[in-house]
Amino acid sequence: ANAKKIQWGVQSATTAQSFLKDEIKPKKKPRVYQETSQAFAGLQAKQNDAVMLDTAIVLQQAAASKGKFEVVGQYLTGEKYGAVLPKNSPILNDVNKAISELKADGTIGRLAEENLGGDPAKIPVLGS
């Protein structure tokens, strides 16, 4: 209910824009920006109360803001990301095995902390 009341900023032509429109249904029309950097400039200038984008992106921006921005939560949207390999790639099994091992030993979480400014898996889920 609180998310409906605030002024959102969002990048155009993104799934975040669709999620705002279809799921959050804010009372104020979101401010739409062509570039990610413009959305965060709008937040800095107090044109928006919050920006909605991929958790990894907002973590990076919050880390780069030197304490001006904070990631307070994330929404589960059902989105999945993937990698593209040539069809019938001989390395597919090796790639899948490496990813599983990196998850299991905590490397992916550690790399996210170091390179994104936080582990997306540790950000609280909103609306659940």
Residue 118 host element (H or E): none
Residue 82: partners with Cβ closer than 8 Å, 6 or more residues away: none
Tell me the per-residue pLDDT of 4-45, one tens digit each, with 9 for 90 and over: 999 999 999 999 999 999 999 999 999 999 999 999 999 999
Backbone φ, ψ for residue 64 (5° rounding) = -75, -15
Q: What is the number of residues in the chain?
A: 128
The radius of gyration of the chain's CA atoms, rounded to the nearest angstrom, is: 17
| Coil, helix or strand at residue 81 | coil
pLDDT surpassing 80 at residue 128? no
Kindly report which listed range (13-22, 41-50, 62-71, 112-121) carries the lowest average pLDDT score: 112-121
Confidence tier at 121 by pLDDT (50, 70, 90): confident
Backbone φ, ψ for residue 52 (5° rounding) = -110, 120
Spatial CA neighbour of 25 closest among 4, 56, 52, 44: 4
The rounded Cα 100 to chain-centroid distance in angstroms is 22
CA distance 52 to 40: 10
Tell me the per-residue pLDDT of 47-62, one tens digit each, with 9 for 90 and over: 999 999 999 899 999 9
